[in-house]
Amino acid sequence: MYSVRLWAARHARLFELTYRAFEPVIVKLHPLWKSVGYQRAEKPMGKLEKLSKGLLFDCQMCGQCILSSTGMSCSMNCPKTMRNGPCGGVMQNGNCEVYPEKRCVWVEAWEGSQKMKGGDTIQVVQLPVDHRLKGSSSWLRVARGASDQKAGHKEASK
Ligand code: SF4
């Protein structure tokens, strides 16, 4: 898994393009999620997300994905779960002070972001992790968020 995770960050541009194609589909499926019920859709979608992102990114299912802002290197794999850049313990060779045999997640994140078109979002300060969302599907959260936003715009323009 570790080598796949490294590979994914090194092909961050490919995954950025994939996500850009995938996100609108998930959002467009809002009527389906709504008819099934977002709560009901959680289980199968969560499983699917865990399987696919677990395989590629060692996803820890934090429920609030920021992969596209971290060069496709999941910050939840940092042993200190640093969400806004590395701690002060990165070794000179770019490895982690807790697991010296592994690369620092944030070194990988920075390198990944340099390969991406929207890699500048690595500069955005992330909110602290909301642990209540752990285990939930961030895909469904994106779909619901986008449709709520759309509904809000419609309401405002009335
Ligand atoms: S940021 Fe969260 S949802 Fe995204 S890959 Fe990492 S643990 Fe999974």
Report, as an integer, the average pLDDT of 134-152. 89
Q: Whose CA is nearest to atom 7 of ligand 1?
A: 60
Ligand 1 pocket, residue 65 CB under 6 Å? yes
Q: Compute, in angstroms, the gap from residue 22 CA to the centroid of ligand 1.
A: 16
Q: Compute, in angstroms, the gap from residue 109 CA to the centroid of ligand 1.
A: 13
Please tell me the predicted confidence (pLDDT) of residue 34: 93
pLDDT greater than 90 at residue 22: yes
Q: Whose CA is nearest to atom 8 of ligand 1?
A: 59
Ligand 1 pocket mutation, candidates 62, 84, 121, 124, criterion most atoms within 8 A of CB: 62
Determine the atom of ligand 1 nearest the C-alpha atom of 63: 3
**Distance of alpha carbon 119 from alpha carbon 84, whole angstroms:** 14
For residue range 89-139, list pLDDT tens digits in order. Answer: 999 999 999 999 999 999 999 999 999 999 999 999 999 999 999 999 999
Please tell me the predicted confidence (pLDDT) of residue 155: 72
Report, as an integer, the average pLDDT of 132-157. 86
**Distance of alpha carbon 31 from alpha carbon 60, whole angstroms:** 28
**Distance of alpha carbon 142 from alpha carbon 12, whole angstroms:** 20
Ligand 1 pocket, residue 78 CB under 6 Å? no
Please tell me the predicted confidence (pLDDT) of residue 158: 67
For residue range 72-101, list pLDDT tens digits in order. Answer: 999 999 999 999 999 999 999 999 999 999
Domain ranges, residue 132: 2-156
Determine the atom of ligand 1 nearest the C-alpha atom of 70: 1
Number of domains in the chain: 1
Ligand 1 pocket, residue 72 CB under 6 Å? no
**Distance of alpha carbon 148 from alpha carbon 103, whole angstroms:** 39
For residue range 33-80, list pLDDT tens digits in order. Answer: 999 999 999 999 999 999 999 999 999 999 999 999 999 999 999 999
Report, as an integer, the average pLDDT of 8-27. 96
Ligand 1 pocket, residue 61 CB under 6 Å? yes
- Name the more confident of 20 and 155: 20
**Distance of alpha carbon 61 from alpha carbon 55, whole angstroms:** 12
